[in-house]
Amino acid sequence: MAPSDISSVTRDQPAPTELPNTSSFPAIRKHATTFRDKLTTKYGWLGDYDYAWLCSPTLPFSISGNKPVRRPPPFYGVEAELPLLLAMSCGLQHALAMLAGLITPPIIFASSLMLDAQTSAYMISTSLIGCGILSLVQMSRIRLWKGYYLGTGLLSVVGTSFATLSTANAIFDAMYNDGTCPSSVASDGTVTRGACPDAYGMVLGTSLICSFLEIGLSFIPPRTLQRIFPPIVTGTVIIMIGASLIGTSGILNWGGGSNGCQTRPTSGLYQLCPTVDSPHALLWGSPQFIGLGFLSFVSIVLTELFGSPFLKNASIIVGLAVGCIVAGAAGYIDGSSIKSAPAITFLWVYTFKLRVYPAAILPMLAVYVSTTMEAIGDITASAEVSRLNVDDEEFDSRVQGGVLSDGMGGFLSALFTVTPLSIFAQNNGVIALTRCASRTAGRWCCVFLILFGVFGKISGFFLAIPDPVLGGVTTFLFASVVVSGFRVLSYVHYTRRDRFILAAAMSFGFGDLLVPDIFTYLFQGVKNPSSGLQSLFDSITIILSTPCKYQTFIVSIFLASGLVAVTLNLILPQEMLQVETSEHH
């Protein structure tokens, strides 16, 4: 071999491969060290948080007349590392704060469809598990492409939207009325419904396909969405949602039940509440029922007055617990649902046939528009309480990621056998009170929710809660939704244009609320409509007002008032605020 060839071979050989350098994995080593320190050190478990402040009761007055001032603990930001005990305690507070709002919709759905105890308990469990899983997704901030994200990156949790609750109940009623679900009429006119799990499957299937609307809306610039759905629209919708739920669920359950016994029929299964076969069955509106609900309601008030910050965050659960203790001692609780519930459960233990109910498509599309509006407002509130900017590009990306995660959550929740899940606003109060916005606490909240759902006996206990106890609590819960709507409307400048839009929207909203059957007979004059045309008529009727349970009525009033508010906001020209303010001088 020539010397030149040897030189060429030597020169062209690849360089020696270097040994792996462990310093290229600093992130892994850092996380491992942090995890070890948290488990093995006192500071890792307790930190320097003032736990006495968290658990000390509040005294609204003192003998000396001077209320003691206690220094609040430090504020923990979104990315702050928390000691284990603080992370778990804050996570438990978040889970307890949202628990009543999570179990209420499946309980009402199961009651509306007359489902058996096992299926009802499963629906509660899947709601808790689904909320835990999808809340983890919502808290993430996964970069996708071209500046798009999935999730808010905030302590944002999800739950069943009350907009879904109102609309789904209206859809169920339409199914019973058109014969999709079985029912019978007694000689005295009392309507008795049969079990209809297929109706729940139809709502899930319709929700699944309609979720693509919110997914598509997430790719519209957030500022454009905020112009289409400003506070004057979102506030009106939220107020109407809360008002309709108070009248169609909260107060009815407070009086004894909403399954038909509220009409006080003279015969049949629902002559007494909740049924004639129940322990301590009484007529709807009996003083015993009113007293149980009032006890739960007053317990919430007293907890807010005297409770520690921890108990204040769980005041709804305190109200349920006090009501259940008294109801159990008085013999109002039927423990059969607890006995029949499995010890351990998970998703898909029960399944429902996913089908599309044509009359439900337009209302469910409106629900996803409503959840989009709610998501924008809730993300803004979460960012503000977390002490983050709400007027920069990063915030816009959080809104986009949150709305996308909301839409994906609607799609996945249907596969989880859960109605659409959207961002919950209740937890913003927990952040403000505990001064902890860390996502670590949020992840522990998800862990607790999943555990609550997996242990089936817990769902069986929730199902055994007497209707008056549940009604006293949910009336307060639904009223807080109305107050949230008023808070959103506080951002409105109340120019003449704004007042006009609100008046027009409220005309439909409160008109439907007070006289809910006004639009029921709108299409009765149409003779022999085709199936497609009849489905369209049913959709419009559900949006405007829908015949409901046992010759009473429920209204999707937020759909009608929201549609009016959006339309007028888009077509009416804007006014100069200076012109309006000058009228007062």
The per-residue pLDDT for range 305-337, each reduced to its tens digit, is 888 888 887 888 899 999 999 999 998 888 888
Alpha carbons 381 and 383: distance in angstroms, whole number: 5
pLDDT band at 523 (very low <50, low <70, confident <90, very high): low
pLDDT above 90 covers a percentage of the chain that reads 30
Whether residue 353 has pLDDT greater than 50: yes
The amino acid at 538: D
Whether residue 24 has pLDDT greater than 50: no
Whether residue 579 has pLDDT greater than 70: no
Which pLDDT tens digit goes with each residue over 434-449? 788 899 999 999 999 9
pLDDT band at 200 (very low <50, low <70, confident <90, very high): very high
What's the mean pLDDT when you consider all of the chain? 82
Whether residue 74 has pLDDT greater than 50: yes
| 320-to-280, 390, 453, 462, 487 alpha-carbon distances in Å | 19, 36, 18, 9, 26
Mean pLDDT value of segment 127-150: 92
pLDDT above 70 covers a percentage of the chain that reads 83
Alpha carbons 347 and 205: distance in angstroms, whole number: 17
Residue 110 and residue 123 in contact, taking contact as beta carbons nearer than 8 Å: yes
Buried b / exposed e over 284-319, threshold 16 CB at 10 Å, is bebeebbebbebbbebbeebeeebbbbbbbbbbbbb
Residue 102 and residue 134 in contact, taking contact as beta carbons nearer than 8 Å: no
The amino acid at 249: S
pLDDT band at 555 (very low <50, low <70, confident <90, very high): very low
Comparing 532 with 269, which gets the higher pLDDT? 269
Buried b / exposed e over 356-371, threshold 16 CB at 10 Å, is bbebbbbbbbbbbbbb
Whether residue 123 has pLDDT greater than 60: yes
Alpha carbons 139 and 447: distance in angstroms, whole number: 13
Mean pLDDT value of segment 103-130: 91
Q: Which among 374, 111, 328 has a CA at the least distance from the CA of 217? A: 374
pLDDT at 60: 64
pLDDT at 547: 35
Which pLDDT tens digit goes with each residue over 150-191? 999 999 889 887 778 878 887 888 888 888 899 888 776 677
Residue 109 and residue 74 in contact, taking contact as beta carbons nearer than 8 Å: no
pLDDT at 527: 67
pLDDT band at 541 (very low <50, low <70, confident <90, very high): low
Dig out the tokens for 67 from the structure: 């209320």
Q: Which among 457, 123, 111, 462 has a CA at the least distance from the CA of 275? A: 111
Mean pLDDT value of segment 69-87: 80
Whether residue 550 has pLDDT greater than 50: no
Mean pLDDT value of segment 24-46: 71
Span of 140-154, 443-457, 464-478, 502-516 with lowest mean pLDDT:
502-516
Which pTM was predicted?
A: 0.79
pLDDT band at 528 (very low <50, low <70, confident <90, very high): low
Alpha carbons 78 and 443: distance in angstroms, whole number: 12
Q: Does an H or E element contain 537, and which? A: helix 531-544
pLDDT band at 359 (very low <50, low <70, confident <90, very high): confident
Whether residue 9 has pLDDT greater than 50: no
DSSP classification of residue 418: -
pLDDT at 150: 94
| 205-to-120, 194, 340, 412, 479 alpha-carbon distances in Å | 19, 21, 28, 11, 30
Q: Does an H or E element contain 192, and which? A: strand 191-193
Whether residue 483 has pLDDT greater than 70: yes
The amino acid at 16: P
Mean pLDDT value of segment 475-482: 85
Which pLDDT tens digit goes with each residue over 485-513? 888 888 888 999 999 999 999 988 888 77
pLDDT at 373: 81
Burial of 155 (0-12, 13-18, 19+ CB in 10 A): buried
Q: Across the chain, which distance is largest between two alpha carbons, in Å?
A: 114
Span of 209-213, 355-359, 491-495, 512-516 with lowest mean pLDDT:
512-516
Q: Region of 567 please: left (phi>0), alpha (psi -120 to 50) or beta.
A: alpha
